[in-house]
Structure 1
Amino acid sequence: MPSKTTSPATGAPIDAPGAAPALALEHAMVVMQPLVRWLLRSGVGFGATTDALKAVFLQEAARELERRGQKASGSGLSVMSGLHRKDVRLLLEQGAPQAMASRSAQADARVKPSAASRLVTQWLAQRWPRRLPISNPQPGAAEPTPRSFERLARQVSTDVHPRALLTELERLGLVVVDDTTVQLQKSAFVPDSQQTAAAQCMSSHVADHLSAAVHNLQSENTEHKFLERSVFADGLSAESVTVLHDEALRLWEQVFSVMVALATPLCEQDAQATPPQRFRIGMYCYSTRANTPNPPVSNDTGTLQEVTP
């Protein structure tokens, strides 16, 4: 049986394939660069960040001990997390793990799209006209199942009144309403950058992307791995980047329509599934000058490659 290796910095056991402390920390710092950029621009400094991270390290250490079938004692949490036993004791007294678990539960709840988000998704996926009558036509209309905002809203939720959904969409700037019709203004549900919902959306997306990447990095070859692929190109002009970005948007609209059409009946079919599972598929584009932070995989110019973790 191979002997266990421990981190010289924290004393924490290392059993993840390829996850040597120096290597893991080096690449984690690359991931941290845009996150720190956002924190600094939001007025969050180093001290506040490190204080908050203590609770995160404690929570994840407790989860890791549970995964290994070990008791989450104060000593075990201290060794696993690298936190001083005094900090562990203080955080436990303050209920930090429970608070973090509550935040995680709230984050999982936020993962479920709002009724407004689901309505926009269905509106686009069903390829209904961008302008709809607000209410159902009177009996005797030419169309046997007339399309209206009211009908769409009741497909999405029977708990929220269509008028309340319409008011929320109007508040978010997603629709324009006149006396009898409603016009969809955007091709996706994208919260305003100044709203709390935008930060919640970003954190959910990035956390799931990172969770998939970490799972793939630490899984054995025989284990299930999540889809995580990208195409990287450099040596491009700004005009070429625009061409690629526009094409990516077009492709995403296709992926969006196909996946919503597939997922909608499956969600209805599996409504009573135990335990329930959640699934996210996403797509992103990013471009910047080649000499800015977060360098690409290759330092060569004029290259094109598929990046497969």
Structure 2
Amino acid sequence: MIDHGLQHPVMVELLKKALVDEALASAPTDRSSTDTRIALQTGLHRKDVRRLREEPVPEGVAAPMVPMAANVVARWISEPRFLKADKTPLPLARTPRLGHPGEPDFPTLVAEVSRDVGARAVLDELLRMGVVSVSAEGMVLLKDTAFVPQEGLGDSFHFLAENVGDHLAAAAFNLSPDRQGPPLLEQSAFSSELSADQAQELQRAARRLWADVLQQFLMSATVAEQRSSSDSGPKQRVRFGVYFHQAISTPSLPAEAAQPARRHKKKPTS
């Protein structure tokens, strides 16, 4: 927050807004969603509650094309028709004319995700974010197996909010005193006392493992979406992620060493 100029007054205002929004979302009935009840629940002044409730909903931090572009990449790395024998993404012809008969092309990929957005618009967005490149022969190449925008803070903040938000929501659900249902998956593994080289090697191993898991999960998700299309009940959304953090180890001190040294007065000897 310091790096991006988010100072204390702005942070406090964001927290106030989040408290009011959550109080409204958890209200049992509309009648109970009064300014007074929310003020008592959150500790905010009623004037702040009223002001924040009347503020217009801001537009999303990400452009509408970002989720669409992410879905295209997800299908690219999970649909067997768009993969090589070793399960790496195939280069796709930018237009059908540049490809070979019977081989999938980029417009076909986009059309399978949505017919509301043209392939050229999606390609321009992926190029802008640095996710793909186009060869001199007109082949679209995916630079990585994960959707990682290289440019645009708005795009990066969008995924930060989505990923960290759902991660925290899963942890909060598991700690909820009135939780309904089994706990959600929210675990991690850790190792310490590593050299810098070995820590980097573990990061590379984690990326390899995630690439395999991501591909398997997306394939399962595609089947699940198809099976859910005929279900008329309320629809659910899921997010499955992974993270890796690396930092200098801070050795923990023994309990007695962590306490400040006490000076004892010596008793006079006889």
Q: What TM-score do you get using the length of structure 2 for normalisation?
A: 0.78
Counterpart of 1:206 (choices 164, 168, 180) is 164
Q: After TM superposition, give the deviation of residue 54 of structure 1 in Å.
A: 1.9
Residue of structure 1 equivalent to 2:266: none
Structure of greater relative contact order (alpha carbons < 8 Å, 6+ residues apart): 1
Q: After TM superposition, give the deviation of residue 242 of structure 1 in Å.
A: 1.1
Counterpart code for 2:20: L
**Is residue 219–residue 225 contact of structure 1 (8 Å, CA) maintained in 2?**
no
Q: Which residues in structure 2 correspond to 1:1-309 (within 5 Å)?
A: 39-64=1-26, 66-67=27-28, 71-84=32-45, 88-92=46-50, 94=51, 96-97=52-53, 99=55, 102=57, 106=60, 114-126=67-79, 127-128=83-84, 129-136=89-96, 141=101, 145-177=102-134, 178-192=136-150, 194-219=152-177, 223-271=181-229, 273-291=232-250, 299=252
**Is residue 111–residue 204 contact of structure 1 (8 Å, CA) maintained in 2?**
no
**1:205, 1:152 → 2: CA distance?**
25
**Is residue 213–residue 228 contact of structure 1 (8 Å, CA) maintained in 2?**
yes
- Please state whether the residue corresponding to 1:281 is helix, strand or coil: coil
**2:125, 2:64 → 1: CA distance?**
19
Residue of structure 2 equivalent to 1:20: none
**2:94, 2:157 → 1: CA distance?**
31
C-alpha spacing 1:210/1:139, structure 2 compared with 1 (3 Å): closer
**2:149, 2:141 → 1: CA distance?**
18
**Is residue 135–residue 149 contact of structure 1 (8 Å, CA) maintained in 2?**
yes
Q: CA offsets per residue over residues 89-109 of structure 1, 9 Å max, x none?
A: 3431x3x23548x35x958x9
**1:277, 1:221 → 2: CA distance?**
18
C-alpha spacing 1:251/1:139, structure 2 compared with 1 (3 Å): closer
**1:138, 1:284 → 2: CA distance?**
39
Q: After TM superposition, give the deviation of residue 188 of structure 1 in Å.
A: 1.4
Q: After TM superposition, give the deviation of residue 69 of structure 1 in Å.
A: 8.9
Counterpart code for 2:53: P
C-alpha spacing 1:77/1:115, structure 2 compared with 1 (3 Å): closer
Q: After TM superposition, give the deviation of residue 113 of structure 1 in Å.
A: 6.2
Query: How many positions carry a matched residue from both structures?
Result: 245
**Is residue 62–residue 72 contact of structure 1 (8 Å, CA) maintained in 2?**
yes
C-alpha spacing 1:146/1:219, structure 2 compared with 1 (3 Å): farther
**Is residue 98–residue 138 contact of structure 2 (8 Å, CA) maintained in 1?**
no
Counterpart code for 1:53: L
Q: After TM superposition, give the deviation of residue 72 of structure 1 in Å.
A: 2.3
Q: After TM superposition, give the deviation of residue 179 of structure 1 in Å.
A: 4.4
Counterpart code for 1:97: R
**1:91, 1:221 → 2: CA distance?**
28
**1:48, 1:140 → 2: CA distance?**
55
Q: What TM-score do you get using the length of structure 1 for normalisation?
A: 0.69
Identity of aligned residues (%): 26
Residue of structure 2 equivalent to 1:295: none
Q: CA offsets per residue over residues 201-260 of structure 1, 9 Å max, x none?
A: 101100100000011011458732100111121111111111211111111111111110
| Structure 1: runs of 5+ lacking an equivalent | 1-38, 292-297, 302-309
C-alpha spacing 1:136/1:217, structure 2 compared with 1 (3 Å): same
**1:242, 1:140 → 2: CA distance?**
41
The higher radius of gyration belongs to 2
